[in-house]
Amino acid sequence: MCGIIGYSGHRPAVPVCMEGLRRLEYRGYDSAGVAFPNRGGLTVIKEPGKLGMLEQALEKAGNVLGATSALAHTRWATHGVPNQVNAHPHTDASGKLAMVHNGIIENFAELKQELAHKGVTFQTETDTEVLVKLVGEYRKECATMREALSRALTRAEGAYAVVLVSADHPGRLWAARKQSPLVLGVGVGENFLASDVPAFLPYTREVVFIDDGEMVIIDADRWQILDVATLAPKEKEVKTITWDVQSAQKGGYKHFMLKEIFEQPKVIRDCLAGRIGQRTQSVKLPELEGLPLPGRLVIVACGTSYYAGLWGKYVIEKLARVPVDVAIASEFRYADPILSEGEQVLVVSQSGETADTLAGLRLAKEQGIPVIGLCNVVGSSVARESDHVLYTQAGPEISVASTKAMCSQMVMLLLLALSYAARKGVLDEEESGALVRGLQEMPGLLEESLPAMRESAKALARMYAEADSFLYLGRGACYPLALEGALKLKEISYIHAEGYAAGEMKHGPIALIDPRFPTFAIALADDLFGKVRSNLIEVKARGGKIIALTNPGVELEIDHPWFLPKVAGPLGAFTVLPAVQLFAYEIADYLGKDVDQPRNLAKSVTVE
Ligand code: F6R
């Protein structure tokens, strides 16, 4: 969603902010803008479309290198169409204050009416303009900007991360957060504010994660954190980011998505590091120490993370016999879910900032249910608010379409299943040891197989890129992967795709099958192979074309068998996942789509 960067320091602020916006592009946006103090006033430049448009406008404006403080924004439209007028920054009535905002001010209509009665006029359809104009009105009555901002924010309902600049205080920025991500980057003679760490990572690794209800004020050489409501100063810890800039760059790959698919062997290694006992091969999850086995585990997540959760249900129930329910976070939060003592909630989120997932987390906590957060971004809201955190160690995921994050979530869910199984004593050591060894061998196996997988994906993509629709089929633990395959295809290639449990197909979707409606099946040589094969014979009988991920040595008469290396039981998922990702990637690339930033999508969905 919207990306924010603010800078105060010794460098030319506008180029620093533009570079920051580039590194936040992955969040998804449809317009962009920048504001900076300039000769007693403020210059605001904004454009619809991609950052190139804003760069051209800046070039035209000239004279932008003098500013040593600035703020900038990429907008993902919520209130008001994506055009120049609605792009951020927005200014108050005096034109001396400019604000950028990520989130939604839910009571903006009431506030707007109240301001209109006072004679304030509005140029845009946005909630942000209302908020900055409210600050501007309070500024007339308050001695300081911080008071004016505090008063305005106390009245704002909804979610926000805001940054504000004033023509009267060049060099200073004010910011605050409620339910939308905001991080402070602490440099030497310079400070940064951003929605996400990669925005300023080339300059500093020292960060302070801003919490809900906090305001932060930066100048070039100091920063200060206050309580938004009381303005009382707060002590905060400065943390050091351990990953580097290279991890957030393409490294020779055409797209981040491709790079991240190929990083999966490393991701598995990193997830396993320090988690397997050398001698006993037992799983170590010290983060869960003190937490009893759950009577029932409720997994709450969105999108790809939800599909990882569905896969987790299969492995946890099968290996550990612990009952698991999986809920879509946006449904869970309003379903008045029944949670009982002894149960636990596991929220799964790459970004750790997904609004619905966070709402699910908070709901569980309100009911006194212990929450485990399975997330990737260190210091994210999920990480900070969960009672126990399992980090997935996938490194920054930049492509909007999630790939390596799901792989890491599946590793952690399998480890969780194995640790539950060991604690309950329901899995014999031999089977458990074989799975652990299989996981340890998976990175090597994938490193060997990924280049050939890509070639197969490329060849099939050329044959099938003209299809309007795809049916993805899988059974058992492969059903969530069919759902994920369909999601990847539709989100980056814009080809309609539906994931279905293979056995359910004859209850409806089979009516769609004809020679122009291809099926992508997952038919591994496992316990359910015979069943899936029967389903595919039914498709074939209706003239449907079939691609199937399978293993060598099986008998399957279909158009395009795609052979993956055979591995034991649930480990097959780690070979299927990159195959469905690569197929979607190659089709989207062949069709010339914007793979890393698909239309209408945002990386971190921080609004409901
Ligand atoms: C799909 C995708 C989304 C996310 C979903 C949840 O490729 O990326 O479906 O999985 O928005 O995001 P997180 O995991 O950050 O909570």
Q: What's the pLDDT tens digit per position in 207-263? A: 999 999 999 999 999 999 999 999 999 999 999 987 766 666 787 899 999 999 999
| 78 pocket-lining for ligand 1 (C-beta < 6 Å) | no
Q: Which CATH superfamily is domain 258-445 in?
A: Glucose-6-phosphate isomerase like protein; domain 1 (3.40.50.10490)
Residues in the chain: 608
416, 364, 348, 269: CA torsion to nearest 10: -40
| 312 pocket-lining for ligand 1 (C-beta < 6 Å) | no
| Structure confidence by residue, pLDDT tens digits, 426-453 | 999 899 999 999 999 999 999 999 999 9
Rg of the chain over Cα atoms, rounded to whole angstroms, equals: 25
CATH 3.40.50.10490 in the chain, residue ranges? 258-445, 450-590
Q: Global pTM?
A: 0.79
Best mutation site among 27, 260, 305, 490 for ligand 1, i.e. most ligand atoms within 8 A of its Cβ? 305
How far apart are the C-alpha atoms of 156 and 154, rounded to whole Å? Answer: 6
Q: What is the DSSP pairing of strand 206-209 with strand 183-186?
A: antiparallel
For the domain with range 450-590, which CATH number is right: 3.20.20.70, 3.40.50.1110, 3.40.50.10490, 1.10.730.10? Answer: 3.40.50.10490
| Structure confidence by residue, pLDDT tens digits, 577-596 | 999 999 999 999 999 999 99
| 605 pocket-lining for ligand 1 (C-beta < 6 Å) | yes
pLDDT value at 608 more than 90: no
Q: Calculate mean pLDDT across residues 461-479.
A: 96
How far apart are the C-alpha atoms of 203 and 186, rounded to whole Å? Answer: 9
What are the tokens at 554?
Answer: 């099986």
| pLDDT score for 245 | 66
How far apart are the C-alpha atoms of 519 and 205, rounded to whole Å? Answer: 47
Strand partners, 469: 496
Strand partners, 348: 301, 374
Q: Would you identify the CATH topology of the domain 3-249?
A: Glutamine Phosphoribosylpyrophosphate, subunit 1, domain 1 (3.60.20)
How far apart are the C-alpha atoms of 33 and 83, rounded to whole Å? Answer: 11
What are the tokens at 319?
Answer: 């290996």
pLDDT value at 278 more than 90: no
| 403 pocket-lining for ligand 1 (C-beta < 6 Å) | no
Q: Which of 180, 188, 230, 231 is nearest to 209 (CA)?
A: 180
Known active-site residue 2: yes
3-class SS of residue 383: helix
Known active-site residue 478: no
Residue 254 DSSP label: S
Rounded distance from Cα 303 to ligand 1 centre (Å): 5
pLDDT value at 203 more than 70: yes
How far apart are the C-alpha atoms of 167 and 158, rounded to whole Å? Answer: 27
Ligand 1: residue whose CA is nearest its atom 4: 303
CATH 3.60.20.10 in the chain, residue ranges? 3-249
What are the tokens at 45?
Answer: 């430049």
| 401 pocket-lining for ligand 1 (C-beta < 6 Å) | yes
How far apart are the C-alpha atoms of 85 and 126, rounded to whole Å? Answer: 9
